[in-house]
């Protein structure tokens, strides 16, 4: 059997009694960092064989672990913090185990995404976990642009050193008036949640950089009724163009009126114009 075991994301008291029992019973623990997991086990008087399993060796280590399980070993998978396979190693091993007919069971526990969502003050009935955005600028821009009309609350992870820049990119793509929450160091001593619009948060963290683990929670796009008004924005752009404004100026005005990002309004207006030109209208 393969046990997918959640471990604390900050506060060591968050480990469950069931997690400790499983970690004490298994034959081997596959972990992201053997030293960190070793310290966690030592704190509870446990000592087990550890095998490193992280981003750069998981493809190579997966067959070895599957073979050991098929020989009868009980193996637990843990990461440095939180739930394995959630923006952490684990997916490859779980998929391989299921393909091999191995039973996989979850030992649930802390995860920063859900913890941050629960205290964000934003809608929790529907949400989308996006994890870390792509590292390359163009891929990040495309990813954010694709989420501009996402109606569900969105959850992101980000490194503290990139927080201000990322919030600025989010404000540009999703709209500076979009409500959001930055949850820092959740469950730890210096936990704090800062709420505001994306524009406000981008300015705040540009002026006052922070350290620590960061989760960003952003409200979804407007509901269907509001979206109907947003779809009419292109008509407003056309009207402003007829009054002699440039496309850039018209897009800026519509952006302020609708709360949408200037870039998105501009891009949609360009697409609309190109479509009319191609159709001969």
**What pLDDT was estimated at residue 225?**
40
- Both tokens of 195, joined, read 């709420």
Q: Which residue has the higher pLDDT, 248 or 238?
A: 248
Model confidence band, residue 192 (pLDDT cutoffs 50, 70, 90): very high
Angle (CA) 262-267-268 rounded to 5° is 100
Rg from Cα positions in the chain: 23
SS3 assignment, position 83:
coil
| Pairing of the two strands 50-52 and 104-107 | unpaired
CA separation for the pair 25, 13 (Å, rounded): 20
Q: Which pLDDT tens digit goes with each residue over 94-148? A: 999 999 999 999 999 999 999 999 999 999 999 999 999 999 999 999 999 899 8
- Quick check: 185 and 258 in contact, CB under 8 A? no
Check residue 226 and give its pLDDT. 47
Which of 84-88, 170-174, 196-200, 243-247 shows the lowest per-residue confidence on average (mean pLDDT)?
Answer: 243-247
End-to-end CA distance of the chain: 65
Across 133-176, the runs of DSSP E, i.e. the strands, are 153-159
The label of the residue with tokens 């992201």 reads: 32
58-87 residue pLDDT tens: 999 999 999 999 999 999 999 999 999 998
What integer best gives the mean pLDDT of the chain? Answer: 90
Please tell me the predicted confidence (pLDDT) of residue 222: 80
The answer to whether 70 and 76 are in contact (CB under 8 A) is: no
Residue 219, pLDDT above cutoff 90: yes
- What's residue 275's pLDDT? 65
Question: Helices H, strands E: what count in the chain?
Answer: 12, 10
Asked if residue 271 has pLDDT above 90, the reply is: no
DSSP sequence for 31-52: ES-HHHHHHHHHHTT----EEE
pLDDT of residue 224: 52
For residue 280, pLDDT beyond 60: no
Q: Which residue has the higher pLDDT, 262 or 10?
A: 10
Q: Cβ-count burial of 67 within 10 angstroms (0-12 exposed, 13-18 middle, 19+ buried)?
A: exposed
Residues 194, 98: Cα–Cα separation, whole Å: 41
pLDDT tens-digit readout, 15-61: 999 999 999 999 999 999 999 999 999 999 999 999 999 999 999 99
């Amino acid at each position: 059997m393969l046990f997918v075991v959640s471990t604390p994301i900050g506060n060591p008291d968050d480990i469950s009694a069931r997690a400790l029992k499983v970690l004490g019973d298994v034959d081997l623990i596959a972990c992201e960092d053997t030293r960190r997991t070793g310290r966690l086990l030592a704190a509870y008087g446990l000592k087990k064989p550890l095998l490193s399993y992280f981003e750069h060796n998981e493809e190579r280590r997966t067959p070895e672990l599957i073979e050991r399980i098929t020989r009868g070993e009980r193996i637990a998978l843990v990461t440095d913090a939180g739930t394995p396979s959630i923006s952490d190693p684990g997916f490859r091993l779980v998929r391989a185990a299921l393909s091999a007919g191995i039973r996989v069971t979850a030992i649930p526990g802390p995860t920063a995404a859900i913890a941050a969502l629960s205290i964000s003050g934003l809608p929790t009935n529907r949400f989308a976990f996006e994890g870390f955005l792509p590292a390359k600028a163009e891929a990040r821009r495309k990813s954010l642009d694709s989420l501009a009309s996402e109606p569900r609350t969105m959850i992101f992870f980000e490194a503290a050193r990139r927080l201000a820049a990322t919030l600025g990119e989010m404000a540009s793509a999703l709209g500076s008036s979009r409500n959001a929450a930055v949850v820092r160091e959740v469950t730890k001593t210096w936990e704090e949640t800062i709420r505001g619009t994306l524009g406000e948060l981008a300015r705040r963290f540009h002026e006052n950089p922070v350290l620590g683990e960061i989760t960003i929670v952003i409200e979804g796009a407007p509901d269907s009724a509001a979206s109907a008004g947003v779809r009419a924005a292109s008509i407003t752009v056309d009207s402003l163009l007829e009054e002699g404004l440039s496309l850039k100026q018209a897009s800026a005005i519509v952006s302020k009126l609708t709360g949408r990002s200037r870039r998105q309004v501009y891009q949609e207006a360009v697409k609309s114009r190109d479509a009319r030109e191609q159709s001969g209208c």
